[in-house]
Structure 1
Amino acid sequence: MSTLPVDDLWPPLERHMFGWAPYDTQVTKRYSRVIHFAASLTEVEWDLRLWIDKFEVLLRCLHWERAVVQLETFYLGEHTFTWHPKAAWRPQPPCYGHLDQTTEWWDFESSMDLKELAQLRSV
């Protein structure tokens, strides 16, 4: 998480969006911690696929069991995106750049049609 920028380019994926409890508290299991995040971004839906690309780069750098993004937008409505690592998944460097294929490292589920989601990339 420390590799995330403090001030990121649009669409942002910044360190300030994330929070987690200290390792040695009652609310964390010995080998497990919940990382939560939230943001209020104006019109992110038009660059949603680009934001998801950034989020997936972060996932490549972490050990995790499941990742869920709840999205509520004015134009696209409410959607849920879920990632489950494949059985043989292990994080490997490098932890940067654009991922061409989401299914290489994990299974991805979306309440939004995947073709529609792919079109939400402005680059």
Structure 2
Amino acid sequence: MSLDQESVVHGLIRTVTSTDRLESMNFRQVNRNAILSLGTEDDFPYLTVDMFNLPGTQEMQGTYLTPVIQLAGSYRAVEYEWGRWLAKFESLLSCMYWRSATVWLETELSGQHVFSWQCQGDYHQPGQRILQVCCEWEHEVGFVRP
């Protein structure tokens, strides 16, 4: 059985806390609602609620200083539709409070790509413009011995 160009996407979104308890709870709820609004079905390349691991609803549960939202999924050759996937992910980020986000795209044919977003100022607020994504490419090359 062949896996035929499986691609794995995984990442994390570093979100925001505040010294003000109510503000911190608001940040968490807005982010939770944004992810829950994705639903369980989507057109390829899909981005669904089931791909995310949200922090608990209790303040600071599972968190030291920064609440982290994790995501992961596998696809058949998603790199051919990567622009569409990025657009969906950035649309999600535009509705959230966050400090930074990083996504790893692991492909069988072209290695690993690391995409990262950084906010301007202390944190990104819903509706703010998202800065351009930065991409790094890692590719293992096999050496032929004489």
Q: 1:91 & 1:29 partners in 2: Cα distance?
A: 24
Q: 1:6 & 1:67 partners in 2: Cα distance?
A: 22
1:70 matches 2:104: yes
Q: 1:23 & 1:33 partners in 2: Cα distance?
A: 11
Query: 1:3 Cα deviation (Å)?
Result: 0.8
| Greater mean deviation of Cα atoms: 55-64 or 68-77 | 68-77
1:48 matches 2:82: yes
Corresponding residue of 1:16:
50
Using CA pairs under 8 Å that are at least 6 residues apart, name the structure with larger relative contact order, 1 or 2: 2
Corresponding residue of 1:110:
135
TM-score normalised by the chain length of structure 2: 0.62
Q: 1:54 & 1:40 partners in 2: Cα distance?
A: 16
1:90 matches 2:115: no
Q: 2:130 & 2:85 partners in 1: Cα distance?
A: 18
Q: Deviation above 3 Å: which 4+ runs of structure 1?
A: none
**Overall identity of the aligned pairs, in %:** 32
User: Residue 36 of structure 2 aligns to which amino acid in structure 1?
Assistant: S
Query: 1:105 Cα deviation (Å)?
Result: 2.0
Query: 1:21 Cα deviation (Å)?
Result: 2.5
Query: Could you report, residue by residue, the CA deviation over 1:62-89 in whole angstroms, capped at 9, with x for unpaired residues?
Result: 1001100011001221010000012284
Q: 2:51 & 2:61 partners in 1: Cα distance?
A: 23
Q: Which runs of 5+ in 2 are unaligned?
A: 1-34, 138-146
Q: CA RMSD in A?
A: 2.1
Query: Could you report, residue by residue, the CA deviation over 1:7-56 in whole angstroms, capped at 9, with x for unpaired residues?
Result: 000100000000123132542247x4210010011110100111001000
Q: 2:78 & 2:102 partners in 1: Cα distance?
A: 17
- Larger fraction in strand: 2
Does the CA-based 8 Å contact 1:20-1:35 persist in structure 2? yes
Q: 1:106 & 1:54 partners in 2: Cα distance?
A: 15
